[in-house]
Structure 1
């Protein structure tokens, strides 16, 4: 009986560590995106997204499908450092919805001294694809 209890406790602690590790990886991706954005590096900012035609981005102009289309929209909407401003990504909630998926809710804010600050909320769907957490859907408003 003691062995069964020890085994159960061990398995529970390992699953808790895995979840914590997954959450840390997702937070790390969002932190890296913030760093790249604030350096004006949209190409590296996009590394947090799934490089696939099925990537879905929902914004004020509607739905955009595909990694390249999303990157091009970012480049059109934020053509220079002044337009990009300084990004912050406060979290509201990070919730595991399955073994390979997380739902993230947060806020975004761009401090832009010349063009005026902008901000809003976002929801992200992260999926673990080939061992890597990636954003497969982004709704930013």
Structure 2
């Protein structure tokens, strides 16, 4: 009987979820991603792309292939999306899935992106980003999004 009461007491006891606190580096990268989404949501491609490094080797892998350099990426976004039209661009958000430091100046960020449209439609996918700590903060140096 004691064993039954102890088991019932343990089952009825509150459970606690132990959250893993994110690192300062993760919070800084997430802030960069949140600001990038704000740029998209405002139709501001320059603010959206501020998350990317100015380095010429910065890359973006798309279903069409590899795009190199921030200027080429901006041209692609301008050609593929109508950022001026909120109904066509949707509202972008990111949710962190994984984050790990690769070394003191590089990190891997994996997130889920989500676009919601005024007509109720939505799209989701994943992004794997290699981030580099540059003089102005964390910047994307390699992007593979699907």
TM-score range, shorter chain: 0.7 to 0.9
Number of paired residues? 123
The structural deviation recorded for 1:36 is: 1.2
Q: Which runs of 5+ in 1 are unaligned?
A: 1-18
For residues 119 and 45 of structure 1, the distance between their equivalents in structure 2, rounded to whole angstroms, comes to 18
CA contact (8 A) 2:30 2:96 kept: no
For residues 100 and 52 of structure 1, the distance between their equivalents in structure 2, rounded to whole angstroms, comes to 15
For residues 82 and 58 of structure 1, the distance between their equivalents in structure 2, rounded to whole angstroms, comes to 25
CA contact (8 A) 1:57 1:138 kept: yes
TM-score (norm 1): 0.80
Q: Partner residue of 1:100? A: 105
CA contact (8 A) 1:83 1:115 kept: no
Larger relative helix fraction: 1
Q: Counterpart of 2:25 in 1: which secondary structure?
A: helix
**Regions of 4+ moved over 4 Å:** none
CA contact (8 A) 1:58 1:139 kept: yes
For residues 76 and 115 of structure 1, the distance between their equivalents in structure 2, rounded to whole angstroms, comes to 24
